[in-house]
């Protein structure tokens, strides 16, 4: 297991709320002498970083540096000491290319890995270019860990186990419709700067939700080593039907940090089909939205006999590790099961590109729904 984590964006919300607290749950799993070097532009010292990290039981050091400054990044990597490391980019998407370029210029020690948070590019050409940069910097696809934390959720892990077991009844003969839902009661929660440039489709549907779809739709692999191949095959067989809806909650355009001219959606619905013998004739419905009456994140199978099965992923049972604990264990140990492979990221962008093109051309109007409602009616 790699014993050094260089965390770029260490003063940010993702690091403070999820990554650093997750280290606490890995106490006893991490190697002796495990150390975190936090890198950010905040005027902090080691003590301020430790306060930010809470009670994480590891060696914590802070290095002030700009992740897009080649000399500063090289200096930060030297601060981490000798041997392989994980360079974790907990950074805004707009800085990814510059930060990866700085890592490439500095050079990573043999055996190192680069971890990067979604979204993986802003469109299909952007994803292809980012993949080229990442593999060139890290040295191989296996040394790149694209983080989509939905794969680390314990309920998603349970879904993977069920699919690996080849559970019966997951096919078009038994399932009329598969719903992938990412419905939230919260609105922007201070994320207007990011969200208004992304929208519901880019924020969650293109990544979290298509990851869940790939797990439901895949042919069960023989073992976990074949998981990512099976997911890619499912994504390659997936097409948007042409039916989609976009909307935003009333009052969104007046929120601080929102540019009304962007026409950003806070709700997205897309109908898909998976052209495989297993799923021919089953409709796949994706619904994501903010400021809704009820929250639900997961999968619902509507069976042809009238029954339904719910697989809610955003729920943590007693004693279960948080998603980021599973993610960090995988990235530090050299695992790949919880990482999104480069071709997965590209296929996901391919699937949503026709939808984005329709929206950009104005072929799908931007509707409005009341905050706290069930959102727009379902597509037929």
Of residues 60, 102, 96, the one with CA closest to residue 79: 60
Rounded CA gap, 155 and 355, in Å?
A: 29
As a residue count, the chain comes to: 380
Burial class (CB in 10 A: 0-12, 13-18, 19+), 273: middle
Contact 117, 95 (CB under 8 A): no
Contact 217, 284 (CB under 8 A): yes
Which residue is associated with the tokens 């790699």?
2
How many Cα atoms are found within 13 Å in the side-chain-facing hemisphere of 324?
Answer: 15
Of residues 250, 252, 150, 120, the one with CA closest to residue 191: 252
Contact 104, 136 (CB under 8 A): yes
The residues that are catalytic are: 208
For 181-196, the three-class secondary structure string (H helix, E strand, C coil) is EEECCCCCCCCHHHHC
């Amino acid at each position: 297991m790699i014993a050094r984590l260089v965390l770029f964006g260490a003063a940010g919300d993702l690091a403070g709320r999820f990554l650093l607290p997750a280290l606490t749950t890995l106490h006893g799993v991490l190697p002796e002498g495990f150390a975190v070097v936090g890198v950010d532009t905040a005027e902090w010292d080691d003590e301020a970083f430790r306060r930010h990290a809470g009670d994480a039981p590891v060696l914590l050091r802070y290095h002030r540096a700009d992740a897009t400054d080649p000399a500063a990044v090289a200096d930060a990597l030297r601060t981490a000491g000798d041997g392989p490391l994980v360079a974790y980019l907990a950074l805004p998407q707009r800085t990814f290319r510059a930060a990866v370029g700085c890592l490439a210029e500095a050079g990573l020690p043999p055996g190192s890995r680069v971890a990067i948070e979604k979204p993986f590019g802003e469109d299909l050409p952007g994803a292809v270019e980012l993949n080229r940069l990442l593999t060139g910097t890290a040295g191989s696809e296996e040394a790149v860990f694209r983080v989509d934390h939905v794969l680390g959720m314990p309920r998603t892990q349970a879904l993977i186990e069920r699919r690996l077991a080849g559970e019966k009844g997951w096919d078009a003969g038994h399932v009329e419709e598969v719903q992938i839902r990412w419905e939230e009661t919260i609105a922007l929660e201070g994320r207007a700067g990011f969200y208004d440039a992304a929208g519901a489709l880019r924020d969650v549907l293109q990544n979290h939700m298509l990851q869940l779809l790939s797990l439901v739709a895949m042919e069960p692999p023989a073992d976990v080593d074949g998981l990512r191949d099976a997911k890619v095959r499912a994504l390659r067989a997936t097409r948007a039907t042409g039916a989609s809806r976009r909307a935003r909650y009333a009052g969104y355009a007046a929120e601080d940090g929102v540019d009304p001219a962007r026409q950003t959606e806070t709700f997205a619905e897309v109908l898909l089909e998976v052209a495989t013998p297993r799923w021919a004739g089953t409709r796949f419905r994706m619904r994501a939205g903010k400021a809704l009456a009820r929250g639900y994140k997961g999968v619902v199978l509507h069976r042809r006999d009238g029954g339904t099965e719910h697989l809610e992923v955003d729920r943590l049972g007693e004693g279960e590790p948080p998603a980021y604990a599973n993610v960090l264990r995988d990235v530090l140990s050299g695992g790949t099961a919880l990482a999104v492979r480069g071709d997965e990221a590209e296929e996901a962008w391919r699937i949503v590109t026709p939808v984005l093109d329709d929206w950009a051309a104005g072929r799908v109007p931007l509707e409005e729904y009341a905050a706290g409602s069930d959102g727009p009616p379902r597509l037929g």
